[in-house]
Structure 1
Amino acid sequence: MSRQIHHLEQEVGVRLLERRPQGNHLTAAGEVFLPLATALLRSADQAAARTRAAGLPSRITVRHTPGIIITPAVRELRDRHPEVEVRTFQLDSGEPRPALLDHRVDAVVARLTFATDGLDVTALYDERRVLVVPLDHRLAGRESVTLDDIADERVPQVRGRSAPECRQ
């Protein structure tokens, strides 16, 4: 790795890393170079993913968040496109948007508890939700509440984790 960094420094024509006994640290030039190089690599990954997606897919990756059943949708997808390998995986609740934007997945089935700008969203169905609180609770008797209304409330635990549909 040291040789690769040294070769990169020679190619760029400037020292990127300050090597000290206490550890390595980026130089001012390294601080400028790192985010630009990271963006360039991310862009190259996206270009490759989009190019693969432009061709006829041989594999479709569908991910879903906890508590979502996707078996009927995946079965229909496989029936409609038997020539395509359909792979399914579970995502953590905070992953749908980054996974889609980074092109790590082709589709995500999730509750809309995340920003959708930059995404093509199709609502599959609406779920009726209820909030159960004691009669003397500040939200008792309301006709409806939003996630913002309950943002500071304690969220019930499900198998040691917060219920995914309650996270934002």
Structure 2
Amino acid sequence: MTAAPPPQPFAHLSAPKAKLYGQVLGVFAQARERFIVHLRPEDVAGELRQGAGVAAGTVSLAARTLLGRLAARGTRLAYHGDFDWGGVRIAADVLNLPGAVPWRYDHCAYLATVRGGLGTPLTTGSPPPTPWDPPLRDAIERHGIRVEEELLLDEPLSDLQGDLRP
């Protein structure tokens, strides 16, 4: 008896019923004017590392394809992530999609968090550009503090209770 192949993330994109799955996504996209992007580098890499070779701080091809399809259907994407170099790289990928906007992901949000005493020393990675908010890169470099988005959940959850306007 042969073992079943391991589950493949985003397998629905190439499954026999991919068109149906796309239509289901379309229904959800129409029901919500926005799709919140929540991608932690560790989670994405951990799930996809099984043969996919995904590095931390990158958006997988499958995730980029899915987000691109949502954006092409007019869904506005709002990105919030870790304030570290991996999170910044993911933000750059997501924010390059049509209609994508940062959601509480700029230098003001970062500085408020650091001033509040949250975060840990940022000891790895190299600083990529932050074209959506150039002062963000400078602030992270200057303070050298990494802030995981889990530490900041109160404000985004508050946003979700009302009309989300990043």
- Whether these two folds match at TM > 0.5 is no
More helix by share: 2
More strand by share: 1
Return the TM-score normalized by structure 1. Answer: 0.31
Bigger radius of gyration, 1 or 2? 1
Return the TM-score normalized by structure 2. Answer: 0.31
